[in-house]
Amino acid sequence: MRENEFARGFEDPVSKCESNRLMEVFESDKARYEEYEELLLRRDQLCREAGSYATAYKAEFGDMLTENFKLKVECIKKKKTISYCRRRMNRGLPIDAERMNVEIAEEMKLYYLQLKELMAETKEAKEAGNVGQYRYNRAKKIYRRLAKLIHPDINKLTAENDDLKALWDRIVDAYHHSDIDELNNLEALVYKALEDLGADDFEPDFSNIEERIERVEQQINEILNTEPYIYGELLNDEEKKKEYIEQLKAEHADYEQYLVLLTNALDEMLREGGVKVVWKMN
């Protein structure tokens, strides 16, 4: 009896100490994992805010940016025309206007595509309107619940299962549009999908938690200090908005002046060079 008591008295403190140590490690890892979850949600929220700032920026300044880009494209086209004509003149050849237009049009395709996209984005931004604060807050709450269940950086099963991945993509899209009805529907689908997979209670992954936290913190810092998130400061400061509008107006005037200079330079080059411009008629 005394031997058993002596044995228990010798073993229990060690066992208890080890158990306490493991529990402390677990609690520490759990706390850091919860911090990681919050950082992921903050990063995603900042991405959404950045998207909202981008939309507001295009709605506010899109028309002026488009007009400036149009002038920039015209200047580029004029410079390409001058370059084409100079090459022909240096070789003592007449200028085939039709061929010149075809070649320059081909070189200008990308610029005209960018202009078309800018015009479309401006139109879409103006039609987007403002999302009510209530809808935004409700969408954020539902998103946070769903993110804790199937965010790809939290639940590895999402990256491995096509159905969960498709649901997550729909969740992100609905969140960015503050579509509360869609998010409510998706929440029911997520719980059903996890139940069918027998994965409604997954174990958190504590591996490399410090590295993962550091990576997300870096991503957050990058979002906060780059476009389009930094547009928020401009959009919320009336004085800065006025200064930026004046800057865009000055840029517009500079392009107009430059286009006139390029046009005059082309006319003078052709006139002094005695170049013959050939137009092919059908």
Cα dist. 166→107, 137, 158, 160, 282 in Å? 39, 24, 9, 11, 56
Q: Are 153 and 199 part of one and the same domain?
A: yes
Confidence bin at 281 (pLDDT 50/70/90):
very low
Entry field: residues in the chain: 282
* Residue 28 or residue 154, greater confidence: 154
Q: Nearest-CA neighbor of 62 among 228, 275, 219?
A: 228
Give the chain's domain count: 2
The reply to whether 230 falls in a domain is no
User: CA 107, 63, 68: angle at the middle one, nearest 5?
Assistant: 45
Token pair for residue 177?
A: 């549009």
Q: Are 81 and 124 part of one and the same domain?
A: yes
Per-residue burial over 58-95, b = 16 or more CB atoms within 10 Å of its CB, e = otherwise: bbbbbebbbebbbbbbbbebbebbbebbeebbeeeeeb
Q: Are 66 and 79 part of one and the same domain?
A: yes
Which domain, by its residues, includes 164?
A: 133-205
Q: Are 110 and 159 part of one and the same domain?
A: no
Q: Are 73 and 109 part of one and the same domain?
A: yes
Q: Are 85 and 140 part of one and the same domain?
A: no
Mean pLDDT rounded to a whole number for the chain: 87
Residue 275 has pLDDT above 80, yes or no: no
Q: What Rg value do the Cα atoms of the chain yield, rounded?
A: 31
The reply to whether 146 falls in a domain is yes
Domain boundary among 178, 205, 232: 205
Phi then psi for residue 95, to 5 deg, are: -95, 115
Mean pLDDT of 133-137: 85
Mean pLDDT of 87-106: 90
Mean pLDDT of 72-87: 95
Mean pLDDT of 115-136: 87
Place of tokens 């509360």: 180
Q: Measure the CA–CA gap between 60 and 57, rounded to whole angstroms.
A: 5
Question: pLDDT tens digits for 12-65?
Answer: 555 656 566 555 655 777 888 999 999 999 999 999 999 999 999 999 999 999
The reply to whether 36 falls in a domain is no
Domain boundary among 146, 178, 205: 205
Confidence bin at 127 (pLDDT 50/70/90):
confident
Using a cut of 0.85, tell me whether the model's pTM lies above it: no
Domain boundary among 174, 205, 236: 205
The reply to whether 225 falls in a domain is no
Question: pLDDT tens digits for 166-216?
Answer: 999 999 999 998 899 999 999 999 999 999 988 767 777 888 899 999 999
Q: Measure the CA–CA gap between 245 and 61, rounded to whole angstroms.
A: 8
Q: Are 120 and 181 part of one and the same domain?
A: no
Q: Are 115 and 157 part of one and the same domain?
A: no
Q: Are 140 and 192 part of one and the same domain?
A: yes
Q: Are 67 and 95 part of one and the same domain?
A: yes
The reply to whether 174 falls in a domain is yes
The reply to whether 196 falls in a domain is yes
Residue 113 has pLDDT above 90, yes or no: yes
Element (H, E) at 96: strand 95-96
Cα dist. 258→75, 79, 190 in Å? 7, 10, 58
